[in-house]
Structures are given as C-alpha cells and as structure tokens.
Chains A and B, each alone.
Chain A
Amino acid sequence: NAGVTQTPKFQVLKTGQSMTLQCAQDMNHNSMYWYRQDPGMGLRLIYYSASEGTTDKGEVPNGYNVSRLNKREFSLRLESAAPSQTSVYFCASSVTWTDNEQFFGPGTRLTVL
C-alpha cells in the first residue's frame, strides 16, 4: 500500500516550458487535491477533484490545469512555466470531500529559471 505517490520528485524548467506533475493514490479515495507550498505561506490549494469526473478551482488556480484521469490519478499541468511557479507541489487525497482528512504525497520540488 504505497498511499499517495508523485512523480517527478525534482524538476528544473526554463521559463515558457510545459510539464505535467503526476499523482496517484491506491487508497480508493474519491477526492484528490493539488497544493503548492511556498516559504512562510503554508499550503495553498490550486485545484481539487471532489470525485472522479469533476474538478474545481482552489485558491490559486491561475497558470495551471488539471485532469482527473480516473479514480486513482490526478495530474497537474503547467502550460507555460513562470519563475513565480517555483515551489514545492503536494498532491493529497481523502475518502470524500466531506470526510476531509487528507493524506499527502512526498512532494515535487519545481524550479523555474
């Protein structure tokens, strides 16, 4: 039981490049989330998927897109990376949106030059 997994662990991009961060969970959770963590700011919700087939914007969605590929997988795409998107990205999942104890993946450290 791996829990929540994320790939890659580290990534360096140049401004304007695109990339997709992958997230998968094997806990049969319905809800999945993407956060970014910046120093001194806690975690901020980018997008979430309350259930398979649905996605919604969180607090800071600009510059990102998401896909809930199936119940297990939730990807985050940066279409044209900017230095302001340098951050640590965490994926999380919970049983349902209303049972919102979230389980986090190990994170992806992204640097945009």
Chain B
Amino acid sequence: ELKVEQNPLFLSMQEGKNYTIYCNYSTTSDRLYWYRQDPGKSLESLFVLLSNGAVKQEGRLMASLDTKARLSTLHITAAVHDLSATYFCAADSYNDMRFGAGTRLTVKP
C-alpha cells in the first residue's frame, strides 16, 4: 500500500529565509504532485514531477524528485507572506493516489 509522509507538518518562517519541505513515499510511484491550499479554499496544482531527477520552478518555489530515494522536496527561497498556505504532496502508483497530511506554512514579517 502506498503511503506518503510529509515533514514538517507545521513550519513557521521569517520572511526572506529559505526552507525545504520533504515528501517521502513508500512504494514505486509513477508521478509526484505538489498542491497548495489556502485556508477555507480548494487545492491548486503547483507542480507535476514525472521522472527521476525532475526539477520544476515557479517563482520562489522549486520542486524536485528522486525516485531512487522515493523523495520529493519543495524548496522555498526568500519566503514572503503570500506563500503562507498548506502544501500537499501526492504520489500516484498503479492507479492508487495518496496525499500527504500537508505542511502548514506560516511566513512572518
């Protein structure tokens, strides 16, 4: 059974600092996804990672995938308040889609 674990679950950052959110999954996965959710809102797709070594960047966020280590990372560069949200990773293996519990990120001035 596919399991997805994120850490940390809660992250409080100062503006301007860098940090990384980690996403581990338990079995071979075809694809890895990152989503953002603002409080009381729906989920917004950020990145889709399809192969080992894939790296994607959008603004201050960069996601990478290491399929051998079964690990994806979401790196935040020079955080700003607008990045405050909950970030979810999800892995997809043989038609079994599983989400991590989410990382609640708060960026403080």
A: residues with CB less than 8 A from B are 33, 35, 40-45, 48, 50, 56, 58-59, 90, 92, 97, 100-107
Closest 6 CB pairs of A and B: A42-B99, A43-B99, A104-B43, A104-B42, A42-B101, A101-B48
A58 to B96, CA, bound (A): 7
Q: Which A residues touch B33, using CB under 8 A?
A: 100-102
Q: Name the distance in Å between A103's Cβ and chain B's nearest Cβ.
A: 7
Q: Name the distance in Å between B62's Cβ and chain A's nearest Cβ.
A: 18
A41 to B101, CA, bound (A): 5
Q: Which of B38-88 contact A (CB under 8 A)?
A: 41-45, 48, 88
SS class, residues of chain B in contact with chain A: strand
A60 to B43, CA, bound (A): 20
Q: Are B45 and A102 in contact (CB under 8 A)?
A: yes
A92 to B42, CA, bound (A): 10
A76 to B43, CA, bound (A): 19
SS class, residues of chain A in contact with chain B: loop
Q: Does B15 contact A (CB under 8 A)?
A: no
Question: Nearest residue in B to A101 (C-beta to C-beta)?
Answer: B48
Q: Which A residues touch B99, using CB under 8 A?
A: 35, 42-44
Q: Which B residues touch A42, using CB under 8 A?
A: 4, 88, 99-102
Q: Are A107 and B95 in contact (CB under 8 A)?
A: no
Query: What are 27 residue pairs bridging A and B, where the CB atoms are less than 8 Å apart in the complex?
Result: A40-B9, A40-B101, A41-B101, A42-B4, A42-B88, A42-B101, A43-B90, A43-B99, A44-B99, A45-B97, A50-B95, A56-B95, A58-B97, A59-B96, A59-B98, A90-B42, A90-B43, A100-B31, A100-B33, A100-B97, A102-B33, A104-B42, A104-B43, A105-B42, A106-B41, A106-B42, A107-B42
